Amino acid sequence: MGAGPVGKAIAMFIDSNKKHDFIVALDKAIDLFTDQLIKKDPKFFFYRNANLQFALEKYLYFTYSHNPILMQSFLGQTDLESDDKILVRLAKFMGGTIKYCPKRFAWLKRKIKDSRLIILDLFSKINVKRNEINKGKLLFFVEQEKFKNYFEPITSKISIFNWAYLIRDNLKLVKLLESQKFSYLQYAPFFRYRLLGKSSKGMTEFRFLLRDFDALYDLLLREKPIKIVLAEGNSTQHELINQVSKVLGIPVVCIQQGWSPIVHTGFRHMSYDKMLVWGQGFADLLQTHNPEQKFIVTGSHVISPRAGKSATSKVLTFFIPNNREYIKYDRIITSADLESFYELILWTAQEFPDFLINIREHPGAPLSKVEKLMLKGENIKFSPSTAVSLDSVLSQTTIGITFHSTTILECVACGIPTLIINPATSYKFEPDTTAYGLSKEVVNLEQAKEILLDIIHNNSISSLSKEIKRRFNETFFPYNKEKSIQNILRHIKIK
């Protein structure tokens, strides 16, 4: 007999818990990895008066958190091989075993690659592109279009002559900015071999980080921006910008962009001049992992929280998760969970024909043509982030349905009854909106159907008192978006 939806959900229920355990174990392994290097050489991570330890840690997390071999090792498989020394060491710290098997002539390939870079280095300078901007501007660092869109409510309030974008090599982003006539600075240090500073012998293994550091250092030293603003703060490039700016005396302001179900390596050891967060509750949850970070509450500039009842229209909004191409091995949710989620969308569209089923695409991962065809229906509508603002989506939503993601908090802040699908029971999303009584949580498809019927027919969440919702918003979303924009502009000191 084939496994039905419930069978699939239960089968992947174990995997989802293991995935959570894998992320926790990887965080600890990265700490052990860098601690071991520091014990051998206390100055291992120092380069040009900057400490690149946490830039490397973030790189390791995002490189190996979706590595299938590391996951298999963590789950107990022993017949694994790799030519990646770092992968082998991380596996050992995580209690697994991966045999190191270097590829034939790997050393020769490295020599040839290095020789090519050395030759290119003789004929080129650090790859920097200036797009008609003046020195001394405010810079907004963006890695993807979604971050540009996230900044727009702020940048639209600033004279175009006072700011520009800072981007790493990204042809798609360059074309977008040029088509919209935005000023930008671009660094692309891919063809450099020669380093501009001295590093520890071991750190040359991570030469790519040092090249990026050099490119940023030269660019920012020459352009002398008054301040750099970035969103989220969890990536390798964010920390490199932070460290270069510390050396050059340039203030860096980080603005909260979302919320992670797990405070992983990317959100630890932050030390920006200011970290602007939506509410004090977020600062409290992050402070333990970021003792050197100064947090300032400014509010969210993309939504307007409200403690009262949400939209009276009949709209059920499903929020699609990010990184679906990696979902089979690095997300807390699994491929089967995602299939069940899509099945729930189609079931809901048929079960409630008088409701509009609104599918909110993730800003970092729009739906593919195949996914859209699969989810097509008479009462199904798609709301891409490039065409419809989040605040507009929330203002029309009657009930929100999502996996563990930032949208839980944004729905609850707007007074929207929220159904959370959490296949992993080994952890709870923090802040726990279900404990507040503001959402309901399920682990599989059948439970989701039951709860949806209960919410719609019995109004089982939205009947809660406004006082509970008010207290939640005071802690996590104290300001509307207009006030938040004013607060942010004040802290980046734009007149």
Domains in the chain (CATH in brackets) are: 5-100 (no CATH), 106-301+483-491 (3.40.50.2000), 315-476 (3.40.50.2000)
Question: What Å distances lie between residue 57 and 71, 209, 244, 263, 436, CA to CA?
Answer: 18, 11, 17, 14, 34
Residue 413 has pLDDT above 90, yes or no: yes
Helix (H, G, I), strand (E, B) or coil at 180: coil
Task: Kindly tell me the sign of the dihedral angle through the C-alpha atoms of 444, 450, 454, 457.
Answer: positive
Q: What angle do CA 420, 422, 425 make, to 5 degrees?
A: 135
Record the pTM: 0.88
DSSP 300-345: -SS----SS----S-EEEEEPPS-GGGHHHHSSS-HHHHHHHHHHH
pLDDT digits (tens, 9 = 90+) for 118-145: 555 554 444 455 555 556 789 999 999 9
b/e per residue, 155-184, with b = 16+ CB within 10 A? beebeeeebbbbbbebeebbeebeeeebbb
The pairing of beta strand 380-383 with beta strand 356-360? parallel
**Residue 430: both structure tokens together:** 């923090």
b/e per residue, 209-241, with b = 16+ CB within 10 A? bbbbbbbbbbbbeebebbbbbbbbbbbbbbbbb
Mean pLDDT of 216-220: 93
Label residue 90 by pLDDT band (50, 70, 90): very high
Res 7: pLDDT: 33
Task: Please tell me which residue, 1 or 93, carries the higher pLDDT value.
Answer: 93
Give the number of other CB atoms < 10 A from CB of residue 366.
Answer: 15
| Ramachandran angles phi, psi of 261, nearest 5° | -60, -30
d(CA 172, CA 336): 32
**Which parts of 207-321 fold into alpha helices (H)?**
207-223, 236-248, 280-287
Q: What is the mean pLDDT of the chain?
A: 85
Question: What Å distances lie between residue 235 and 63, 97, 143, 243, 267, CA to CA?
Answer: 11, 28, 10, 13, 9
Give the number of other CB atoms < 10 A from CB of residue 347.
Answer: 16
**Residue 310: both structure tokens together:** 């949400």
d(CA 492, CA 339): 43
Label residue 337 by pLDDT band (50, 70, 90): confident
Which residue reads 């790997």 in tokens?
Answer: 106
What is the distance, to the nearest Å, from the Cα of residue 196 to the centroid of all Cα atoms in its chain?
31
d(CA 383, CA 364): 13
Label residue 405 by pLDDT band (50, 70, 90): confident
Give the number of other CB atoms < 10 A from CB of residue 397.
Answer: 26
